[in-house]
């Protein structure tokens, strides 16, 4: 009976020793999610029409505040549907991600998007920078395009 009791204590101590680092690491990482309606308007370089799209914006900010090396990972997606000024239907989606080595109130992410027209509507692409805004708790509160240029892919 004494052997079983000693073995159980060793297993209990070993379990705490093994899982304590996992609990400590989990406490250092924090994921913040937000989604909200968004939109974009851009000139179509293929036919000089304006294209407007709306859809959901989703942002995830993961902050690891480990004292020696803080790491912040920011991920944003946007899927939009809309139309051009001439009535052509369009869809587009983009995903932007980047890692940062410091906590900040804004994060600039590179973005590339492809605008796909329905039927004979010309497709075009765009590239630029999107800025994600976060509050003091690291919660993403908004996003805006700071630079954007489009080019014809036809």
Q: Can you give 77-105 as a three-state secondary structure string?
A: EEEEEEEECCCCEEEEEEEEEEEECCCCC
Q: Say which DSSP state 123 is in.
A: P
CA 134 – CA 99 distance, rounded (Å): 15
Least confident of 2-11, 25-34, 81-90: 2-11
- Examine the pLDDT at 153 and tell me if it is beyond 60: yes
Mean pLDDT of 47-76: 92
pLDDT in the model for residue 42: 93
Q: Do the Cβ atoms of 29 and 73 come closer than 8 Å?
A: no
Q: What is the mean pLDDT of the chain?
A: 84
- Examine the pLDDT at 8 and tell me if it is beyond 70: no
CA 30 – CA 46 distance, rounded (Å): 43
> What is the arrangement of strands in the sheet containing 71-84, beginning at the earlier edge strand?
29-43, 50-64, 71-84, 89-100, 106-117, 124-134, 140-152
Q: Using DSSP bridges, classify how beta strands 71-84 and 89-100 pair: parallel, antiparallel or unpaired.
A: antiparallel
**Alpha-helical runs (H) found in the chain:** 2-28
What 3-state class would DSSP assign to 10? helix
Whether pTM exceeds 0.85: no
Q: Do the Cβ atoms of 90 and 81 come closer than 8 Å?
A: yes
Angle at Cα 94 formed by Cα 116 and Cα 42, nearest 5°? 60
């Amino acid at each position: 009976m004494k052997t079983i009791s000693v073995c159980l204590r060793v297993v209990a101590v070993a379990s705490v020793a093994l899982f304590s680092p996992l609990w400590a690491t989990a406490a250092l990482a924090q994921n913040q999610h937000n989604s909200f309606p968004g939109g974009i308007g851009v000139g179509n370089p293929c036919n000089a029409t304006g294209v407007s799209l709306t859809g959901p914006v989703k942002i995830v900010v993961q902050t690891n505040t480990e004292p020696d090396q803080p790491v912040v990972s920011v991920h944003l997606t946007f899927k939009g549907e809309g139309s051009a000024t001439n009535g052509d239907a369009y869809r587009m989606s983009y995903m932007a991600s980047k890692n940062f080595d410091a906590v900040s109130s804004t994060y600039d992410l590179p973005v590339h998007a492809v605008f796909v027209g329905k039927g004979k509507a010309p497709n075009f692409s765009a590239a630029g920078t999107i800025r994600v805004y976060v509050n003091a708790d690291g919660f993403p509160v908004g996003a805006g395009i700071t630079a954007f240029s489009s080019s014809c892919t036809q």
